Each structure stands twice: as structure tokens, then as C-alpha cells.
Amino acid sequence: MRRRLKIWGAALIMMTSLSGCGSARSIDNRTMLFAVGFDQAHSGAIQVTGEQVNPLASPAASVPAPGQSAGPSEVYYTGDGHTVGAAFSRMQLGSPGYIDVTDLGLVVFSQALARHGLYPELSYLMRGEQTRIIAYALVASASAAKVLRTVPKTSAGSAYEQLEEAETFAATAHPKIVATPLWKLYRSLWDTEEAAVLPMVGTQGAKIVFEGSALLSHGHLIGTLDPHLTAVLDTLLKGQEGLLITVHPKPHQVVVLRLLNSRTHYQLVNPNTLDVSLTGQAKVIEMSMGNVTVSHADAMLEQRAGQQVVHQVVALMHHLQAMPADPFGIGALARARYPAGWTSWQKGWAKRFRHVTVHVKVGIRIVLPS
């Protein structure tokens, strides 16, 4: 008899568990965010701003129910707490439900919060598989919430179209630098050799303004670069065109060149000396040289342009070493070239990088306009 009761009891438990997800969250109660911003609130608390696309505001969406207004195309929620989870749970939603951050496209961190470290925020967001793959990160010079509300959106499009536009904006925040994927920023928490670089933006009225870049090591913001030094950094990291070179061949003569493409090679000659070699092509975009033609002044212009780029790279290196920040992965070169010494350098690599002597060599070839 007892055996039968056990069998029936087990069957009843199985039937109950197969009948549905009684304790699971219903998808109908989900508030899905496609962008979030993190700011530092009062008393060290974290303030989270979440952005949700209002499906009723899209022309492709179903017609709102009688008495229901479509409302704005985006809906914002805010919450604050001493933990990331608490901040999200305190968001005042329009209806009972829960926040879903598993499919974000854009994450904005305020500069003040980044200086204190982003480990809690990154650990929370990395739970979402799609978020850690597709989301891009930016640093706001002031308020992350304000940047989030200013990011350009599709005025009349579906939720997926707006999500795609937010991702596109994050990936091309400025032509001179590409935003950092969230997974790469998360990896930098434990990377002792390479600093992460994020675009830094602000707001000016209803526009997003590019203000340079932020460098993070172990999840902490350790320094910033202005737009000009950011352009030099991006040239070294990606060989991306756009760096402007101004040359003064003689008094009252000005030639402005734009670097079209470049390649940078790094060689660690010894543990304390780094050689940086950059080669590339440049095009004349503005010229005021009197009766002197560009073709006659090629050699001189190329030499002056190379010297100008050397000065820019040296200024960037000095700025990075003062932080100290190593966004180039020179530490990885040191580890590969000097494995025995790396065991003692690893923990103090940033300080060691500060005292590395950098030699810069630049070769520029001018491409004449057609």
C-alpha cells in the first residue's frame, strides 16, 4: 500500500511539473529594454535609466485599444539602489512585471561612475547572451541618462529598426573611433596587459557631441583623451583614415594633409625600449603655397608631414604613460619576448610601461590629387 502511495505521489509531482511553469516569469509581464544608462546617485548609490521602445507608437504595430494612446516612441524608466539588481527592481514600470536586459544594443556609463569601477554593472549585464555579444558601450562625460535620451532614434519605425539604429550609432559614435563591444570591456576586467578604449560623448542641446575617449583598466576609468589625441590613438590602433596633418613649408604657407591609410608596427627592442614604426599615404586637402606646386615640394612635404606625425605620436605616448595606460597590448609583446621576466613584471606592468623609452619613426607618402 505504501509503495502504491509513493508511486502515485511521484506521478502527481511529475504531472504538476509538466503542466506549466508555475514559478517562472511570464513573457507577457516582461519589459524589454534595448538601451540602459548608469549614473552615480546620492550616497554612492547607482541610478539606472532604461529605454524601451513603445510598440504602440510604431506604424507597423497593431492599432491601440479603444481609449489607449500610442504615446511617445520611447519610454524611459529609472531606479536607484546600492546594488545593480536593486536599482533595476525599483524602476517604476507602467504595469506589474519585470525588467529584461538580455538583448541590449547600447550601454552608457557616466564618467563619475566609471572612475569608481564598473565590475557590478558589467557582471550583471553579462548574464544576457545577446547583450554581451551585440551591445556597445560608451562613456558619458556627465550624465549617462541625458546621453541616452539624446541618442538619435528612428522617428517612425518598429522596435527592431530602432534597436538597429541604436546599435549603429554606438558602433559609429564618431568616424575616428569605434565603440567597444561589451564583451571586450568585460574581458578587460582581468586583462593586466591592455587597457580598454571607449568613446566619450556629451550633449549639446539635442545633439550628441564627441568629446574624445576614455581608457579603462580593470574596469576603472584611469584617464581620458581629447578628440585630437583620440584620432592619433585610433590611427595607431586601427590604421583608420582621417588624421589631419598641418605643414608650414615656409612662413605664410600652409598645407593640410589627410592620412588615407596607415600601418603601425611595434617592436620591443629590450624590456625598456619600444620602437614604433608608422607608414602611410596622405592626400592634400587644402593648400596655400603661392607659386610653389605640390609636385615640386613632395619630398619636403613628406618629410615635414612625417615629423608632424612623430610629434603627435610622441605626445600621445607621453600622455598614456603618465596615466599609465597600455591600449596597444605592449604587455603581450613583453610576455611573449621575455617569458622569464614577465612573471615578475606582470602585476606591475602598468608602472613599468610608464618608464619605457619610446622611439617613433614615421614614413608618409603623398598621393597627388587626380
What is the per-residue pLDDT for 61? Answer: 41
- Indicate if 69 and 176 belong to the same structural domain: yes
Residues 50 and 167 grouped into a single domain: yes
Task: Specify whether 306 is located in the same domain as 326.
Answer: yes
**Do 179 and 35 belong to one domain?**
yes
- Clarify whether residues 127 and 38 are in a common domain: yes
Q: Within this chain, do residues 214 and 263 fall inside the same structural domain, yes or no?
A: no
In a domain, residue 71? The reply is yes
Per-residue pLDDT tens digits of the chain, which is 370 residues long:
555 555 555 555 555 455 444 444 555 567 788 889 999 987 788 999 988 865 554 444 444 444 443 345 678 888 899 999 899 888 876 555 678 888 888 899 999 999 999 999 988 988 877 787 778 888 999 899 998 888 765 433 344 444 455 445 544 444 444 567 788 888 877 766 778 888 898 888 888 888 889 999 888 899 999 988 988 888 888 776 778 888 877 777 788 888 888 899 999 888 889 999 999 888 887 776 555 555 555 778 888 888 888 999 999 999 999 988 888 888 888 888 888 888 888 777 878 888 899 999 999 888 765 4
Domain co-membership, 78 together with 190 = yes
C-alpha cell at 104: 541590449
**Domain end residue (candidates: 197, 225, 253):** 225
Same domain, 157 and 284: no
* Cis upstream peptide for 324 (omega within 30°): yes
Joined together, the cell numbers standing for residue 16 give 504538476
pLDDT of residue 8: 55
State the total domains in the chain: 2
Co-location of 296 and 350 in the same domain: yes
The answer to whether position 275 is within a domain reads yes
Structural domain harbouring 253: 229-367
Whether residue 212 lies inside any domain: the answer is yes
Full-model pTM: 0.77
Sequence length of the chain is: 370
The pLDDT of residue 58 is 45
Residue 223 is predicted with a pLDDT of 92
Q: Looking at residue 13, what is its pLDDT?
A: 53
